[in-house]
């Protein structure tokens, strides 16, 4: 999901950015430019495309995944992924950049993530009949939100939070959605492939925990360094004033 290009670059990677590498994004951006221009002529705003894209991801996750239809759910989510490219393309053509766009983008990213892992949890709590995997999916949902919060909170108090975590948002989504799509092939007669999703959820859960620890440790170190630098600055200022 997205907004004006200037804010999208600085924002957390979205579902589309997670699933499409830079070369694929460049290709589809060129392909989707005429469609983006058509929407602009029709008076459709990038915000509207962002909202529709998020609604599609949420619907794909919460309608299909709780019923165990992982293949078709992933197909629907993938189709709506392209809204991320369309709204960014529209913003570039309009020459817009706004803090509101960055806020909306980031907020709806959290909604989409929650729907995806919530869909997994609903399946395992229901017909999937596996309370352990339900708990793992819920942990993936919660830890993903906290991992994002730690960076946002650290930056809000003036720290760079300069760390590349083991499993950040892009990795969480790629691992989970690819595994879900492949696991869904079990309904088409592919044997044993349904175990890919449980394995992926465990990988995401452990990786998210490691990433959370990495970010907390980084913020603690950066905070101590900032406070030490501030204390040194105050001391030097005091000595200068005493002269």
Catalytic residues: 109
Q: Which residues are annotated as a binding site?
A: 47-50, 84, 87-88, 92, 98, 105, 109
Residue among 90, 57, 88, 91 nearest 74 (CA): 57
Known binding-site residue numbers for a CDP-1,2-diacyl-sn-glycerol? 47-50, 88, 92, 98
């Amino acid at each position: 999901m997205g907004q004006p290009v200037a804010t999208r670059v600085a924002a957390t990677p979205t579902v589309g950015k997670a699933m499409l590498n830079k070369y694929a994004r460049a290709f589809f951006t060129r392909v989707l430019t005429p469609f983006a221009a058509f929407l602009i002529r029709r008076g459709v705003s990038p915000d509207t495309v962002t909202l529709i894209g998020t609604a599609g991801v949420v619907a794909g996750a919460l309608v299909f995944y709780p019923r165990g239809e992982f293949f078709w759910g992933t197909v629907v989510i993938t189709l709506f992924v392209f809204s991320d490219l369309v709204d960014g393309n529209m913003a570039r053509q309009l020459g817009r950049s706004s803090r509101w766009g960055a806020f909306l983008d980031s907020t709806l990213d959290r909604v989409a993530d929650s729907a995806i892992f919530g869909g997994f949890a609903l399946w395992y709590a229901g017909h999937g009949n596996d309370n352990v995997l339900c708990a793992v999916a819920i942990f993936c949902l919660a830890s993903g939100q906290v991992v994002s919060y730690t960076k946002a909170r650290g930056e809000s108090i003036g720290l760079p939070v300069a760390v590349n975590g083991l499993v950040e948002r892009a990795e969480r989504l790629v691992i989970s959605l690819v595994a879900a799509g492949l696991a869904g092939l079990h309904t088409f007669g592919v044997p044993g492939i349904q175990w890919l999703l449980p394995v992926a959820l465990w990988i995401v859960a452990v990786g998210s925990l490691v990433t959370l620890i990495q970010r907390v440790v980084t913020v603690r170190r950066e905070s101590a360094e900032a406070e030490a630098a501030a204390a040194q600055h105050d001391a030097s200022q005091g000595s200068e004033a005493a002269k």
